[in-house]
Chains A and B, each alone.
Chain A
Amino acid sequence: MKPATLRAWSKVHTWSSLICTLFMLILALTGLPLVFHDEIDGIGKPERIERWNDAELVTLDRAIAAALALEPGAVPIYLSFDEDRPVVNLTSGPVGDAPETAMRFHPIDRRTAAPPQGEAPGGGVMDVVLDLHKDLLLGTVGEYFVGAIGLCFVLALVSGVVLYAPFARKAGFASVRKAKTARTRWLDWHNLIGGVTLAWALVVGLTGTINTLAEPITAWWRADALAHLARDRAGPIAPYRPGIADQALRNAQAAVPGMRVQFIAFPGAAFSSRDHLAVYLQGATPLTAKLLTPVMVDARTGKVDGVAPMPWYMKALLLAQPLHFGDYGGMAMKLLWAVLDLVSIVVLGSGLYLWLRKPRAARRSRAA
């Protein structure tokens, strides 16, 4: 590689790294507890195996009525289902297309048609950590900013690999020159850790960026794949009527047998149209369980209007979530994910240290 090309890549690496380092440190620190969110959420809650008889559970619409009674005047937006207990979670709002900030979350136990016993409302500290990780508590603008930081991080990784090639030719793979100065030792650690964790860092950076684009990707899918099913995109949102949720689920599962429900989006929600309930079904295998099939059910008649298999970009969005948080492979994977998160903090910190300790003359000549 010519010296001028190397200098140009060095500038790209320096500036892309400097721009993203502070924010990446925040993301790495907040990402660490999120890897163990299930375990942290379970602290203080008695571990018990839930038992129930399906025949004794209240209907979905009865559970929805119980949740809406807690918030008079609200309408249902989403209904999700816990996997290990007969609890449904109603997300409600003042209107069907309410913004996320206006939504409320009500878990209802279908054994009692009441909120689960002993559960405090709200998600607690992990919700704040997730919001900080997702958008730095700045809402949609923050989400796009975090996405841009993710792209900067990917650029820093790619330019780092380009710079690493001539270095590795001289120093060899995974060597730390312990007899040299502190700066040289940290340069070696920076290169070693950055090199061997490259795939993980690229996957986490790219999937994180994809996750920040969930809203526009979903909006595109709505306008693209769901458009032919929506009759009147500008018309009024079909109102919720008691009985429709159970009817929609029954008809959706009859249309696509062998699948189980993950959530239902009501008319007006981002994942539905203005005149449909979208019933999201998941497969039985670990992979198909992550890829959802929406069945569009007419909100007025309860009849299935169509099955809309997700296009590639929605599948990419759904797969980006487990790939970003590393919570799909059991405790061994979570622990390794945490180790990788911690060593990425070392890479970020050592990069900053290397820049700060760079000889002034070299910094001036690079800047010129």
Chain B
Amino acid sequence: MTRHPLMPIAAIALVSFVGLVIGLTGDGWEDAAAALGLALSVAPIGVALLRR
């Protein structure tokens, strides 16, 4: 079975979105979850830059 080409960006989008929503519900680990979700969004850009 071949993986759908949009699978990676769908997974990143889902994790980022869930993090953003969780971040609204608290001020402790919830904020960390939101930051982690966003960090996951920018991580592939950093990896691609380092590959230069």
Interface residues of A (CB under 8 A from B): 161, 164-166, 168-169, 173-176, 178, 189, 192-193, 195-200, 202-203, 285-287, 290, 319, 322-323, 328-330, 332-333, 336-337, 339-340, 343
Contact = CB atoms under 8 A, between A and B. Distances in A.
A176 B51 CA distance: 9
Contacts of B13: 198-199, 202
A96 B44 CA distance: 53
A199 B35 CA distance: 14
Nearest to B13: A199
Contact of B48 (A176, A330, A333): A176
Interface in B23-43: 23-27, 30-32, 34-35, 38-39, 41-43
Given A199-B17, A332-B31, A161 B45 contact: no
Contacts of A322: 24
A222 B6 CA distance: 43
17 contacts: A173-B5, A174-B44, A174-B48, A176-B51, A189-B48, A192-B48, A196-B45, A198-B13, A200-B20, A202-B13, A203-B17, A323-B20, A328-B24, A329-B31, A330-B27, A336-B38, A343-B45
B9 A195 contact: yes
Contacts of B41: 196-197, 199-200, 336, 340
B9 A169 contact: no
Contact of A173 (B8, B24, B27, B38): B8
Of A166, A198, A329, A339, the most chain B CB neighbours within 10 A belong to A329
B47 interface: yes
A336 B42 contact: yes
A-B residue pairs, 4 tightest by C-beta: A199-B13, A168-B5, A199-B16, A336-B38
A198 B27 CA distance: 25
A164 B6 contact: yes
A286 B9 contact: no
Contact of B38 (A168, A198, A337): A337
Given A198-B13, A199-B16, A336-B39, A286 B44 contact: no
A330 B26 CA distance: 11
Nearest to A161: B6
B36 to A, nearest CB: 9
Interface of B: 4-6, 8-9, 12-14, 16-17, 20, 23-27, 30-32, 34-35, 38-39, 41-45, 47-48, 51-52
B38 A340 contact: yes
Nearest to B39: A336
B41 to A, nearest CB: 5
Of A176, A178, A285, A328, the most chain B CB neighbours within 10 A belong to A328
Nearest to A170: B5
Of B20, B43, B44, B47, the most chain A CB neighbours within 10 A belong to B20
Contacts of A330: 27, 31, 35
Contacts of A336: 35, 38-39, 41-42
B26 A166 contact: no
B24 A286 contact: yes
A343 B42 contact: yes
Given A196-B43, A329-B31, 14 more contacts: A168-B5, A168-B8, A169-B5, A174-B8, A193-B45, A195-B8, A196-B41, A197-B42, A200-B16, A286-B25, A286-B27, A332-B31, A336-B42, A343-B42
A146 to B, nearest CB: 22
Given A176-B48, A340-B38, A168 B6 contact: yes
Of B8, B9, B43, B52, the most chain A CB neighbours within 10 A belong to B9
A327 B9 CA distance: 25
Nearest to A207: B20
Of B25, B30, B35, B41, the most chain A CB neighbours within 10 A belong to B41
